[in-house]
Amino acid sequence: MILFGGTFDPIHRAHVRAALAVSRALGDAPVHLLPNAVPPHRAQPQASGAQRLAMVRQACAGYPQLVADDWELRERGGAPSFTLNTLKHFRRLIGRRPLVFVVGADSFAHLDRWHRWREYAALCHLAVVPRPGAAPAPLRVQRAFPRAGGRLLRARPAGRRLMLARPVLDVAATDIRETLRAHGDSPLLTPAVRAHIHRHGLYNQSAHRGDTADNPVHVPNEAP
């Protein structure tokens, strides 16, 4: 089982491409995209959990290997959505089968700031997706997850790290929110998510309906 946790405020093309690449690298296995309820280490999201989940659902539509998963959002109580709890839950669910958690290289670089991160290696593998500008992870983080190929990850329950070479996309939700505020649109969203944002007036869209962006924005040249 593959889990891809994120704030997804909003989900963008790099998230979708990353999820598809990890799925492909691991034999077209399903990837569960889990929007968090309360991000532990960052400013709280602008869109509600329900809105972010709806956008994740839109982004997954048409990709049978991508699954929008509301497990973290259903956790009550307002406590931070610690990944450790999520990993323990899914580990209980799947027994000794392989469990993989997907992170961008920027997240991997800071993994040693995450809540009880040293316990992860007994619970899951990591799949690390490159991200422009990400620093290398500290050696102790790298050593906690020895590097391996897809075959080994599929043969063992946990404890290894798959490093993907692609996709490399300089896309961030922070920039997209800014572009949406300023210009009312962003080509870095998938068409279905873009339509959802317009339909529901998210990220100040109501102020921009009908506007066209006057600043060119880099568009990834491959779908999605």
Ligand X SMILES: Nc1ncnc2c1ncn2[C@@H]1O[C@H](COP(=O)(O)OP(=O)(O)OP(=O)(O)O)[C@@H](O)[C@H]1O
Ligand Y SMILES: O=C(O)c1ccc[n+]([C@@H]2O[C@H](COP(=O)([O-])O)[C@@H](O)[C@H]2O)c1
Q: Which residues of the shown chain bind ligand X in the complex (CB under 6 A)?
A: 6-9, 14-15, 18, 103-104, 106-107, 129, 131, 169, 171-174
From ligand Y, ligand X, none, which one binds at residue 115 (CB under 5 to 8 Å depending on kind)? ligand Y
Beta bridge partners of 2: 31, 100
From ligand Y, ligand X, none, which one binds at residue 18 (CB under 5 to 8 Å depending on kind)? ligand X
Q: What tokens appear for 183 in the block? A: 């210009």
Cis peptide before 10 (omega within 30 of 0): yes
From ligand Y, ligand X, none, which one binds at residue 22 (CB under 5 to 8 Å depending on kind)? none
Q: Indicate whether 5 belongs to the interface with ligand Y (CB under 6 A).
A: yes
Closest chain position to ligand X (CB) = 104
Please give the Cα distance from 12 to 32 (Å, whole number).
15
Q: How far is the CB of 106 from ligand X (least distance, A)?
A: 5
Contacts of 196 (CB under 8 A, 6+ apart): 54, 55, 58, 202
Beta bridge partners of 101: 3, 126
x/- track of binding to ligand Y for residues 75-104 (CB under 6 A):
------xxxx--------------------
